[in-house]
Structure 1
């Protein structure tokens, strides 16, 4: 998990439409009025229907007082960096430090050429952008003549200055590997757009930025991650991006005032609440000390006291189903088989909530609320089955390694181990995020809705802490497996098996218990 701890920012991405200039400015003013942080504008000077972005930024800045204004992103081939540096610094001084600089290497080369700009290959565009960043930073640091021998933007004795009012962030719109690496080496922020980089693509792109930053001797946390998003993103999705991938700025695209108002009134506060609560929980929880019960699980000793269980393969005690037939929803049962020789909680001491009223009837919406929890859990069960299958594939590959195929098997072994580790890392993140959102959003609402559920909800929350530690054990076993020297891995696959067996026991048991106790209350109270 990666949360770089930046202050959360929320803003709008507005179209600089020339036929309705006052409406564009009014939308920016609305952005400020509803309490958002940023108003941003695309930059396509060759588009006849658009206002000039830099002129628009200046007007918006003059008609607002707290709003930060940001080009999203400036087309560098048509914005010479030496002059741009002075423009940015000047507007930042005039606004009291409310300017950030979004930059791109230049899209639509035909449009750039039509306005007299230089036509560059994509690779040249990245090199030119790298030079431009150096020029801009040099001219923001008054102190003497600046001389830079660049291929694209040479500077021959220009006088630096003025300096901006604050440390202006240079945020790059980057998608390809070289641009992402440049972001890690030289930029202050990354500003991709969801239509071109969906949430599934972000982890790999993030990793390129982090690796480049570390190679350049920078802390990856120094690079702010922002995201241009469509209006259909919900608070839970954005909170996950913050807590798992380090994103701290979200900019909603579109020109509908109602979208702006909803983003400010519902989405932004929801993200802040989820992120603040999880950051507080993490700050109060010491890092794991190498055992699933210490130190995090020690906060729930009644749940997490480890004990040697009955022999592997025995069954857990059967528990009656508590979901009434009238609900028309069937929880997924726990098969009762326990694979691990370790037991982290006593299943016979789990509290139960009040029995459902057999006279109740349920609407279609209520049934859907109960079914939703089961659907989410069934997805996690399917993923867990895939993890177990991958473990056995790796084990089989290692066992079959022979002298005649040692070199090939070694490569295959490494690939299998890497695939296993990558998949499990992704899976463990999904489980952790699911539990985090329950802990800080769903569970408090259930406790407020029905005081009789408090012991059950508290027990479930305690079990989440234990499961978190088990996930950490899986992660440590995987790290040990993928970092072992060839020849020693066969002895470590059992560590992974043991950790996944323990995860299987705890997670399947927990999911079944949660469905047994919460499916009906979720339907009845409608808090899902």
Structure 2
């Protein structure tokens, strides 16, 4: 399934305090060399990690054109009304370059150790559904908003300031209920290749598409951004996304044209700065050409 959306590319730097120069270099390479996205994981309980939201501000300040997003925001440790305020602020400060990836939560022992709520699967789903509604209320033009949910409550809060652009909400989810929620209400889906390998994508995409259609939406309205982890080598293939640039081009092109994935966020397995250069120079332009050529061929045959 090809939803026909323009394919975008990005990088996934590690938010390690010890590797800050590396993370900033990856973002700057993406900015200079034609990539569109920088996604940063959000695990506040990781003692070696910087705060993701502070780091995103630094990345936005040090770049000019890439869009930056949490990949994905840790909802159990981030109140959605405050998250909305921070997101709108970063969007305004960067001239409309902030997007929002959002997850229901995981690593519950670590979340609870930091004072967050330990949620059952049902509670995590309910909180995620409510959070999307709260975020959008907080970005609205309303003079004041109220919301009465099981997990979140707004009692006449005044939204604002408004973001510089309509911030999309991309959900990093994989369960049946959360995939259906993604199809009904989200702007995008943000899976990762380790837990959503290519052979699983048809089933997972189908759940999103069915829910979208049931809600009166076009399935193509939901972006499909894929966190891809591997390494570009000079030798023979060692498996999926572990091989020469030509293999990467073939595999990402197939993911776009057959599985409908229209964004690829690259997490290098080793030597991240050099790998980011190679991805931008050897893989991305070739995938763009291959996808565009096949789409033209399909429309003219």
Residues in 1 aligned to 2:193 and 2:69: alpha-carbon distance in whole angstroms:
18
Number of residue pairs the alignment of both structures matches? 284
Is the CA contact 2:101–2:170 (under 8 Å) kept in the aligned structure 1? yes
Residue 192 (structure 2) pairs with residue 193 (structure 1): yes
Give the TM-score of the pair, scaled to structure 1: 0.53
How far is 1:33 from its partner?
2.0
Alpha-carbon shift at residue 27 of structure 1 (Å): 2.0
Whole-angstrom CA distance in 1 between matches of 2:29 and 2:292: 26
Distance in 2, Cα, partners of 1:141 & 1:165: 12
Displacement of 1:20 after TM fit? 2.9
Q: Deviations over 1:131-169 (max 9, x none)?
A: 000000111112221111110011111112222111211
What is the match of residue 33 of structure 1? Answer: 32
Alignment correspondent of 2:55:
56
Aligned to 2:12: 13
C-alpha distance in structure 1 between counterparts of 2:183 and 2:212, whole Å: 4
Q: Work out whether residues 22 and 273 of structure 2, in 8 Å CA contact, stay in contact via their aligned partners in 1.
A: no
* Match in the other structure for 1:336: none
1:267 equivalenced with 2:267 (yes/no): no
**1:257 aligned onto 2:256:** no
Which residue of 254, 261, 264 corresponds with 1:247? Answer: 261
Distance of 1:158 and 1:283 partners within structure 2:
50
> Could you list the per-position Cα deviations for residues 467-523 of structure 1 after superposition, in whole angstroms to 9, with x for gaps in the alignment?
xxxxxxxxxxxxxxxxxxxxxxxxxxxxxxxxxxxxxxxxxxxxxxxxxxxxxxxxx
Deviation at 1:247, TM superposition (A): 1.0
Describe how 1:267-286 pairs up with structure 2 within 5 A: 267-285=283-301
Residue 65 of structure 1 deviates from its aligned partner by 0.6
Task: Please tell me whether residue 4 in structure 1 is matched to residue 20 in structure 2.
Answer: no
Deviation at 1:115, TM superposition (A): 1.2
Match of 2:136 in 1: 137
| Structure with the bigger percentage of strand | 2
Contact 1:142–1:162 under 8 Å retained in 2: no
Q: 1:205-264, CA deviations, whole angstroms, 9 ceiling, x for partnerless residues?
A: 000000011111111110000101123431111111111222110011126112111111
Q: For 2:29 and 2:295, how far apart are their aligned partners in 1?
A: 30
* Corresponding position of 1:97: 96
Task: Tell me which residue corresponds to 1:117.
Answer: 116
**Which of 245, 249, 272 is the equivalent residue of 1:235?**
249
- RMSD after superposition: 1.1
Q: TM-score, normalised by structure 2?
A: 0.92
**Could you say which structure has the greater relative contact order, defined with CA pairs below 8 angstroms and 6 or more residues apart?**
2
In structure 1, what is the Cα distance between the partners aligned to 2:83 and 2:141?
15
CA distance in 1, matches of 2:32, 2:273: 12
Q: 1: CA distance between counterparts of 2:213 and 2:143?
A: 31
1:21 & 1:261 partners in 2: Cα distance?
17
* Alpha-carbon distance between aligned partners in 2 of 1:219 and 1:163, rounded to the nearest angstrom: 27
Aligned 8 A contact 1:142 1:159 in 2: no
Deviation at 1:191, TM superposition (A): 0.6
Q: How big is each residue's C-alpha offset from its partner over 1:346-404, in whole Å with a ceiling of 9 and x where there is no partner? A: xxxxxxxxxxxxxxxxxxxxxxxxxxxxxxxxxxxxxxxxxxxxxxxxxxxxxxxxxxx
Instruction: Determine which structure has more spread, i.e. the larger CA radius of gyration.
Output: 1
- Residue number in structure 2 paired with 1:150: 149
* 1:95, distance to aligned residue in structure 2 (A): 0.6
- Offset of 1:284 from its aligned partner? 2.0
Q: Following the alignment from structure 1 to structure 2, what is the Cα–Cα distance between the partners of residues 137 and 284? A: 41
Q: CA deviation at 1:23?
A: 2.7
Q: CA deviation at 1:70?
A: 1.1
Q: Which residue of 1 aligns with 2:207?
A: 208
Residues 410-464 of structure 1: CA deviation (Å, up to 9, x unaligned): xxxxxxxxxxxxxxxxxxxxxxxxxxxxxxxxxxxxxxxxxxxxxxxxxxxxxxx
Task: Tell me which residue corresponds to 1:298.
Answer: none
For 1:67-91, what per-residue CA distance to the aligned partner results, in whole angstroms no more than 9, with x for missing partners?
A: 1111100100111000111111111
Q: Which residue of 1 aligns with 2:244?
A: none
Gaps of 5+ in 1: 286-528
- Once residues 162 and 255 of structure 2 are traced to their aligned partners in structure 1, the CA distance between those partners, rounded to angstroms, is 34
Q: Provide the C-alpha distance between the structure 1 equivalents of 2:7 and 2:193, rounded to a whole number of angstroms.
A: 18
Q: Gapped runs of 5+ residues in structure 2?
A: 232-240, 242-247
- Any residues of structure 2 matched to 1:342-491 within 5 Å, and which? none
Q: How many Å apart are 1:21 and its aligned residue?
A: 2.1
